[in-house]
Amino acid sequence: MTGGPISGLRRLLGRFEARVLVGLILTAGTLWAFLMLGGEMSEGETAGMDRALVLQLRTPGDLNDPIGSHGVEEAIRDLTALGGTTLVTLVTVVGVLAFAFHRRYRHALVLAGAVLLASMSSNLGKSFYSRPRPDLVPHEVYVYSGSFPSGHSALAAATYLTLAMLVASLEPRRRTKALAYGLAAAVVVTVGFSRVYLGVHWPSDVLAGWCLGATWALTAWLVLRAAGARPKG
């Protein structure tokens, strides 16, 4: 007898690639990390670390002055916009149109979906946790919403990591893949750092934003594979 439940289960498990299983585990891991950070933040467990790291980015004896020259401060104000709604929307629209122009409609939909869901979940998280913005140091840019998670960090992670993944899925050369992921990671880290530097987010807000954004980027990767557009290499 060659059939039976066990052989059927083996055939089912055989359909799953190792990369997909790793992707599922990572997706679950980033979501779990986000929820854990939310719980620890709500219980005040992150307060000490948050305060210490924010103070490290201020001139000793003068909390009104971030470390670095005025030129550095202005540059970081410019860089933080890479995770803002306006620029992320522009990048997403250009990316969607570029993929559609090249008849990569699945890629276009995956990018739009990942960014939209990251934005919605970030806003939902802000409403649910209702964490006030840091009051330890003056804010260097205007803010108007809740603090947890960092929307800039979440949008940056979801947008640029997803975009890098989509570009890598169409590019056979490993160096180009590495460049795409490297640039995306640099932007994500820079945006997160800028939010703490400017005094508008606690470090735990940024970590949570990265986890949330990465969750949607990983989900986008899984969706792309499920749709049949498998990354090369």
pLDDT tens-digit map of 5-44? 665 555 545 555 667 777 888 889 999 999 999 999 999 8
**Whole-Å CA distances, 222 to 80, 118, 129, 215, 227:** 29, 16, 28, 11, 9
In contact, 64 and 132? CB cutoff 8 Å: no
The arithmetic mean of pLDDT across residues 193-214, rounded, is 95
With 0-12 CB in 10 A as exposed, 13-18 as middle and 19+ as buried, what is 118?
buried
Q: How many residues does the chain have?
A: 233
Token pair of 110 as six digits: 């995956």
Is 102 labeled as catalytic in the residue annotation? no
Integer Cα distance of 5 and 183 in angstroms: 47
Instruction: Please state whether 199 falls in left (phi above 0), alpha (psi between -120 and 50) or beta.
Output: left
Identity at 223, one-letter amino acid code: V
**Whole-Å CA distances, 102 to 107, 160, 170, 228:** 10, 19, 11, 17
CA R_g for the chain: 20
pTM of the model: 0.88
Integer Cα distance of 173 and 85 in angstroms: 32
> Which tens digit of pLDDT belongs to each residue from 47-85?
999 999 999 998 888 888 888 888 999 999 999 999 999
Angle at 95 (CA atoms; ends 93, 97), nearest 5 degrees: 70
Is 152 labeled as catalytic in the residue annotation? yes
Catalytic residue among 70, 102, 107, 201: 201
For the chain, domain boundaries: 19-226
Token pair of 162 as six digits: 């997803």
